[in-house]
Amino acid sequence: MKKTVVIGFLGTQLDYAGKGAARWERWRPTLSLCQQEDLIVHRLELLHDVRSKSLADRIEGDIAAVSPDTVVRHVDVSLRDPWDFEEVYTLLHDFARSYPFDLENEDYLIHITTGTHVAQICWFLLAEAHYLPARLVQTSPPRKKEAADVVGSYTLIDLDLSRYNKIAQRFQREQAEKVSFLKSGIATRNAGFNRMIDEIEHVAGRSKAPMLMVGPTGAGKSFLARRVYELKRQRQHLAGRFVEVNCATLRGDSAMSTLFGHVKGAFTGAQSERPGLLRAADGGLLFLDEIGELGLDEQAMLLKAIEEKHFFPFGGDREVESDFQLIAGTHRDLRQWVAEGRFREDLYARINLWTFDLPGLAQRPEDIEPNLEFELERFAQENGQLVRFNVEARQRYLAFASSAEALWRGNFRELGASVTRMATLAESGRITEKLVGAEIERLRWGWVGKPKTDIVSEVLGEQAEALDLFDRCQLAIVIDTCRTSESLSEAGRRLFAVSRQEKKVANDADRLRKYLARFGLEWASLQKGNSGV
C-alpha cells in the first residue's frame, strides 16, 4: 500500500494557537490534516522560513502527540515577499523540479489551505501542469454546531477533469461551440480541415504570437482571420479593432504611409499627418493579407513593430507605439521567396511560429454540400428570399462540383458566386436542372476556356454530353485547329508533327479525316462552323 505524503506551507496565522491548553482549543489546518480518521499522513513536508522555526517546531510536537506515525520534515524557504507572484512561483517550481518523487510507493497531496492566496494559485498551476504529480487537499474548520470538535474536515481535489463528467462535458461542449464558431457553423466533413480548426482554436485562446495562414485565393483566409479576432474578443483577449489590408494593393510611399503612417510633408501630397493601420490596430488584431507582396523595406519596419511594439512613421524622427496581434496571409511559398531573397528570413521566422495551410475547395470535395447550404442561407439573409434546389438539379450540381472536372480556382468565393447566380435566376425560389446545366457550362468556360467546352457542344449538340472529359478536350483542340488552318493537310501537319516523324506516317490528312469520322464530322462542315452529323 502506498504511503501518503503531504506538502504544504506552515500557516503562520492559522497554525498558531497560543500556549498551553489553548493549543488544543481551536482549529489549526496543518494539525487538523494529521488528525483525520480516514487519512493517514505518513510524511509531512512543511515549508517555512527561518523566522517561523519555533512555530514549526511546536506544530511538529503537536502532530507527534496526535499522529505518532507522521514524520515531519522541515523545508526551509526564503521569501522576501510571499505576495509576489513571480517570486513564489519560481520558488515552488524549483522545489517541484528538485523533489525526489517516488510515484511507485507514495501518493502526494498538496495542502492549499495554508499560505497566501498567491501560494495557493501557484500550487494549483504547478499541479495542473503536472510539475507536481499530486492532488490538492483542502482542510475546513468544524461547523458551529460542532464547536467541541476542533478537527474539522478535508476535501480532495483531483485536477483530472475526466473524473468530473459534467464539468468535462461542459468544457467539451464549449470547445465544440468555439470550433463551430470558427467554421461559421458549417458542419465540415474534411478530417484535415477539422484538425486544423481545432488547433487554431487552441492557439487563439492561449497565444498572442503571430499566425500565418497559407492558401490559394478564395480559400477563406480573410474570413477565418476575422472569426479568430471575434473569438479572441469574446474571450476578452482583445479590446481594439480588427484591421485588414491586402498588401498586394500597396506600392512605394503608399505602402509605408498606409501601414506605418506619415508625418506632414513626408512626401509630395502629404499635407497632414496620417496615423497608419498599425496604430489603428493598437489593442486589436491586424490582418495582413498577401504579406509576401510587401517590399523589403516595409518588411524590415514590420519586423521591428512586431518585436518591439514601436516604430517610426514614414518621414518621422519620433517613434510611436502600437501593441497589436498579427495574422498574416499569403498564397506564396514564402520559403522559396526567402531563398530567392524576396522575403526577409528574420520576418519569416517571426511569423512562422503558427502556420496553417488552408486547403482549397477542390481539396475538400466532401465539404461542398454543407457549404452549398451555407451559401443558400446567406443568400436568403441578404436578399430576403428563400431559394432551394430541385432534387435532380441538386444531385447534378453536387456530382459536377465534386468531380475532377471542377477546378474551383476561385475556391469558396467562386462557389458563393455560383450559388448566387443560380439563386438570382431561379423562378419561384426553385433552382432547376436547366439552370444547373447552364451554370455548369459557365463554370467550365471560366476554367478551361471556350475550345474545351462550347466548341464541342456547338458542333455535336446534345451528343457532346455523352463524351468523357478526355474526349471532349481532345476533340475541342482538333476542332479549333481545323478552324484556324487553311487546309485539311495543314491541320494534320500541326496536329501530328511529332508522331509523323516517330511512326513515319506521311498522310496526316487521312489520319485527321479518320479521327473526325469517329464523331461523324467532316472537314468541310467544320470550316463552315456547322455540324457534320
Per-residue pLDDT at 268 exceeds 80: no
Give the CA count within 13 Å in the CB-facing half-sphere of 486.
1
In the prediction, which pLDDT does 178 show? Answer: 65
Per-residue pLDDT at 237 exceeds 60: yes
Strand, helix or coil at 426?
A: coil
CA 317 from chain centre, in angstroms, equals 38
In the prediction, which pLDDT does 197 show? Answer: 87
Handedness of CA 232, 233, 237, 242 (dihedral sign): positive
> What is the DSSP pairing of strand 310-311 with strand 320-321?
antiparallel
DSSP letter string, 125-155: HHHHTTSS--EEEEEEPPPGGGTT----EEE
Mean pLDDT of 6-15: 90
Per-residue pLDDT at 175 exceeds 80: no
Q: What does the CA dihedral 441, 442, 443, 449 come to, rounded to 10 degrees?
A: 90
Per-residue pLDDT at 450 exceeds 60: no
Is the distance from CB of 410 to CB of 417 less than 8 angstroms? yes
In the prediction, which pLDDT does 111 show? Answer: 95
**Residue 100 dihedral angles phi and psi, to the nearest 5°:** -85, 75
Fold (CATH) for 362-448? Helicase, Ruva Protein; domain 3 (1.10.8)
> Please, what is the average pLDDT of the chain?
85
316 pLDDT band, cuts 50/70/90, is confident
Residues 28-71 pLDDT 10s:
899 999 999 899 999 999 999 999 999 999 999 999 999 999 99
Mean pLDDT of 410-417: 91
Residues 367-380 pLDDT 10s:
899 889 889 998 99
CATH topology of 3-159 equal to that of 362-448?
no
Domain ranges of the chain: 3-159, 172-354, 362-448, 454-528
Strand, helix or coil at 476?
A: helix
pTM above 0.85, yes or no: no
Tell me the C-alpha to C-alpha distance, in Å, between residue 219 and each of 16, 130, 331: 66, 39, 10
Helical ranges in 69-182 per DSSP H: 85-98, 117-128, 165-182
Strand, helix or coil at 364?
A: coil
Residues 326-346 pLDDT 10s:
999 999 999 999 999 999 999
456 pLDDT band, cuts 50/70/90, is confident
Pick the CATH number of 3-159 from 3.40.50.10770, 3.40.50.300, 3.30.565.10, 3.40.50.460: 3.40.50.10770
* Across 79-93, 190-204, 326-340, 449-463, least confident range: 449-463
Cα(389)–Cα(368) distance, rounded to whole angstroms? Answer: 15
423 pLDDT band, cuts 50/70/90, is very high
Look at 286 and 525; give whichever has higher pLDDT.
Answer: 286
Is the distance from CB of 44 to CB of 72 less than 8 angstroms? yes
Is the distance from CB of 305 to CB of 265 less than 8 angstroms? no
DSSP letter string, 277-305: HHHHTTTSEEEEETGGGS-HHHHHHHHHH
Mean pLDDT of 262-282: 78
Per-residue pLDDT at 76 exceeds 60: yes
In the prediction, which pLDDT does 250 show? Answer: 84
446 pLDDT band, cuts 50/70/90, is confident
> Which residue from 278, 244, 281 is spatially nearest to 260, judged by alpha carbons?
278
In the prediction, which pLDDT does 20 show? Answer: 56
Per-residue pLDDT at 25 exceeds 90: no
> Which residue from 285, 287, 294, 202 is spatially nearest to 250, judged by alpha carbons?
294
Q: Which residues contact 77 (CB under 8 A, 6 or more apart)?
A: 47, 48, 49, 91, 95
Residues 294-304 pLDDT 10s:
999 899 999 99
Grid coordinates 498564397 are at which residue? 331
Percent helix, strand and coil across the chain, each to the nearest 5: 50, 15, 35
Architecture category of domain 172-354 in CATH: 3-Layer(aba) Sandwich (3.40)
Q: What percent of the chain has pLDDT over 90?
A: 43
